[in-house]
Structure 1
């Protein structure tokens, strides 16, 4: 399944709990959208997670023709709750496809609240990335409560769930299947559709029994000590 089919809206806002792998998804999504010929902008607005920041792959993104907007480009190790003025370019220039990688909790999501009026005028989707191996969201009840907290903070409505269950280098197809079951349970309760299951390309053949599309990725984000 291609990126434009999974995320057909002009602006995709990627959120989820810390450690779900939403930045990995956002980077891969942006690269695949750019490969399809679109003009893509990726906004790194995650002020919560100091380890995995899309700006760390700035050279890779620029080589693919993606314009990166960061909340703290001047200092690569800083995480300040300040939004760059260029964010308005994504919201106002309807010739670009925008991917917004925002913080993994209601505090991080708050950075978007001030732009609620502008965002709701656009063709947007709020995507909730789910990892069944995160202790704080491993049950349907906890995952839904976290999702509703993000919605309440941003004033936006979630329109899709992405299963990105992983254990970094120890990920297996069985782990992804486990995440699929959690995503299905959350979807049944909330009536929010599961958009796709994220999987490294090597796992795709083993996931053919899943009813939703598989979004194949290659790992771009590494731990600082790797």
Structure 2
């Protein structure tokens, strides 16, 4: 991503917050035949030791072979709220549009999990997304059947070696312009407006 210092997200906790709120990710691998990309949910491995970021995910077979999973570093892209920002929301004469976004690029070498760990990871993923739902389901309701289904997936754990994250949220604009953009963005994209408010309040020390 373009290196613009005042858009950088350097706090790992902010990246964790982004992953928790936006778990649908793009997985990119530089394989022997070129680049391969797939899309799967990711969650934080909250049990991992240390201050770093560790994620859990899975791919469906044969994506594990297509990605040559476990043989090299991969890139996992997590995309938060984003939207077009019209110059019509700026002062007269300021004519250049932009796109506000919150994005994190996570780099690491995935550890492919064995059959038992794979089932545990898939159970954890299912429980994570079923939690709080009316009538939420669990793989444990029919373990023999779901264990058979689990053979069609390959789970992995990835300790993030480094990340490159941006929160580009109109920080280069005057406060009154930011407030105006938030007002307009909030009409159709309240999540992005909320992110803009967070950055604004942090910069004000509120």
TM-score between the two structures when normalised by the length of structure 2? 0.26
TM-score between the two structures when normalised by the length of structure 1? 0.24
Q: Whose strand proportion is higher, 1 or 2?
A: 2
Greater gyration radius: 2
